[in-house]
Amino acid sequence: MPGKNIRGGRPSSPFKGVSSRPSASIPRRGASPQRIVNRAVKRTEVRKSVFNVNPRPRPEMRPSAPPPRVMNKVGPPMGSMPKPQAVLRPGSPKGLGSRPMPPSARPASGIPQRQRTGAAAGYAAGTAWALNTGAAPADLSSELSSLQYSLDELHQRASFAQLDADVAGLDSNLNHAINLLEGARDAGYKYQGDLEDIAYTAMTRWQQVRQQVGAKIQQSATAFRGQLGPMDNYVRQLNMSLGSSSQALGAIGTLRNEINQALGRLGELERSIESSYDEIERAAGELTTRLTAIHWMLGQAAEASFPFESDENLYRGVKARWDYEGDQDPEGILFLTNKRLIFERKEKVATKKVLFITTAKELVQQLMIGQALANVKDAKAQNKGLFGHQDFLDVIFSDSKIGSVAFHIDGQASDDWVRFIKDAKSGKIEDERAKASKLSFSDLTGELTQAHIVELQNEVNELQDEMMLKNLATELNDLENEVQNLGRQLSKLRGRGYAIEKSLEADVQVLAAQWEKIKERAHGAMDMQVKLLSDQMKSIQSQTATLAGMSANLAAARPAFMQLKSAIASAEAQAEAAEETVLDQYDEYADEIESLHAHFAWLDWMMDALATASFKLNATESGVAAVEAVWERPGMDPENGILFLTEQRFLWEDRVGDFELKFDVALDQILDIKEEENAETGMDTLVASLGKGAPVPNARFALAQPLGDEWLKMIGRARSGGYADDRAVEIDPALLERIRNAPTQCKKCGGAFTAPVLRGQTEITCEFCGTVTRI
């Protein structure tokens, strides 16, 4: 849906050009969208740093499909091009990091299934419109394929199933946010009192519009489908006219116009319905993000090696590193209470090494700073690091033994922490204290029934796998298979003729050599986290048994029911924090593996496209990249095809009907090239200015995937000779000498040869008289 970034609590990555490796964990209701955003930011900066050290441009997303054998005669509007798929690992779930739930899993909405059957009921099984493409003339096949795609889209969206899913998901997310809020208050967290206001407003507003939204979806779906009746006649008329291309063209135009009008009306209906709950959805996301962070902080405080004072209340907490000893800087947790600013060292340190390899570790916890707020003289925020994205908090203490301390804040803004400390010192945080009378949770949850107890027992059963971190174990196994497969993939590419990037062999070997150490570290962290979570799970199972024994008296069971719901919400937040800890052990390494796999996938795509092309590369010429692209020419219809880059040439092949190479220029003929991005579609266009001898003075190629930045870098590297210097297969020196000694003018007319001579080229054609000169 337009404007939607979050589905089920996890956002799609907004960062362009970064490998969006799917999350290891099942998206749960307690998932933190901010965590995903922070991870994407981190990956962006890591990729930039890697490129600065070793400038080898590579697309970080995978091809969306194999090279097409049949392409549309007229390129579709760029806004209607298929969006690039998220990066998928072999064996990983499809989608934006989401995993399909087993049939036995609970509905994502958290409400009974019979309540979720809305506009989509009875329609999903309806008959879709089908065009008789088999009876169509060959010259209409691409047009009909495009029309069939639009018909299928219209049929699917006309069910309004996505809006039904939105409503069910909002039910679940609000319920979970309320459980997290109650769990935080029960655990003693007293601040951020606006959480109750947000929760109460969102829940109250949702209760007011929930039935209206459901009814509006049903009414809109029924009315809209009623308007689609004539579509059957248009489809039937087109199928009947397919025997004649001239008659079919008119029917195609009529049907396409009807489809476009219907999709326009449908989009307006969807936006109208979504506007009824957009603000509520944003409120649910904010609650979940903030409360997940609070539960993590409470868990860290519960594990602290020092006691909090009796009248001391925790306000904020964050991972931090005391920046003063270089590589030995202590890492831990920075706590802010209404009394003190506290830094506790909390990290695993090596206790035994063999040949510089750590073989044993132990957890070290030590209270290093515990200063009263009155002793905090000042706090300032600084942005450091290569790109200025590392948040540092400089704190000046009146205690001369401590003086000034720089904390590297992980995952939160240092500007916010300056404000937190200032408010804590002034006592302003007391205005944020929650007031118990603001929200009645029993009013919000309604009457307790046997169905609620059964559903809660199912949640406990599913929580078991989450607390065992089974998905992380699966991802580590998948990662090992990918590491082992890199060498085979590279050998296959070399066998198919990919002759450049001689460093790839070394890249594969280096990554493979690191795997055993990384695997050991990740499994060690996972074992420790599972052990910590198991005690919490035992308590939840005990509470579940107690609740089951009280099911005969539902009124008496309500306190136990609410306590168990709160415990589950807290456990899910703890499980997510545990996943984060384990992911930190191998996340960057896995991103490097995924980046290389994505690169190999593009190279396979390019080799497939070259194998079916109407032209052949020169004897020692190697492909660099290829992508689907539309050649946009002024005054002419745009044409679909494939854009190729070799280390010597820039080419575009028309792939509609008979394949034809229509654009072929040497890299020396490119005077300038830049990227333009369509603000509405997010798609990229390469705009090239060309010199003498090129078929056109300027050329525009609209890429089918957002890879403009990568293509600019690859073209720049090819023009500078970077790929020629990085060949895995050395070029015969005699061939280079023959190119250097190639004739510079035509023997017949004396005209100068202005076009560059390429490696593998065996003859030169005079542009003035047409005489062919052998090299």
- Sequence-distant (6+) residues with CB within 8 A of 470 are none
β pairing state of 404-410 and 314-322: antiparallel
**pLDDT at residue 13, as a whole number:** 31
**pLDDT at residue 27, as a whole number:** 42
Third-level CATH fold of 612-726: PH-domain like (2.30.29)
Burial 540-572 (b: 16+ CB within 10 A, else e): beebbeebeebbeeeeebbebbbbbbbbbbbbb
- Sequence-distant (6+) residues with CB within 8 A of 661 are 613, 614, 615, 651, 652, 653, 654
**pLDDT at residue 259, as a whole number:** 87
Distance CA(730)–CA(732), nearest Å, equals 7
Domains in the chain: boundaries: 120-299, 303-438, 447-610, 612-726, 731-775
**pLDDT at residue 378, as a whole number:** 92
* Residue segments in the chain with a per-residue pLDDT below the cut of 50: 1-34, 49-54, 70, 74-118, 120-125, 354-356, 358, 386-388, 436-443, 759
Distance CA(474)–CA(494), nearest Å, equals 31
- For 719, the enclosing helix (H) or strand (E) is helix 708-719
Distance CA(355)–CA(236), nearest Å, equals 76
Angle between helices 194-226 and 278-302 (to 10 degrees): 140
Q: What tokens were used for 243?
A: 């025997």
CA distances from 196 to 291, 433, 440, 458, 771 (A): 11, 11, 10, 28, 85
CA distances from 497 to 286, 725, 734 (A): 52, 17, 21
Scan for tokens 């003018």, then name that residue: 745
Same fold, 303-438 and 612-726: yes
Q: What tokens were used for 449?
A: 């029934």
| Dihedral sign computed on CA atoms, order 59, 60, 63, 64 | negative
Q: What tokens were used for 328?
A: 């030995």
- Sequence-distant (6+) residues with CB within 8 A of 254 are 234, 237
Under 8 Å between Cβ of 490 and 600: yes
CA distances from 329 to 325, 344, 349, 397, 401 (A): 5, 13, 12, 19, 18
**pLDDT at residue 291, as a whole number:** 93
Distance CA(209)–CA(57), nearest Å, equals 50
**pLDDT at residue 222, as a whole number:** 86
Beta partners for residue 641, in sequence order? 629, 654
CA angle (54, 60, 66) in 5-degree steps: 130
Chosen CATH of 303-438 out of 3.30.1490.20, 2.30.29.30, 3.40.50.9100, 3.60.150.10? 2.30.29.30
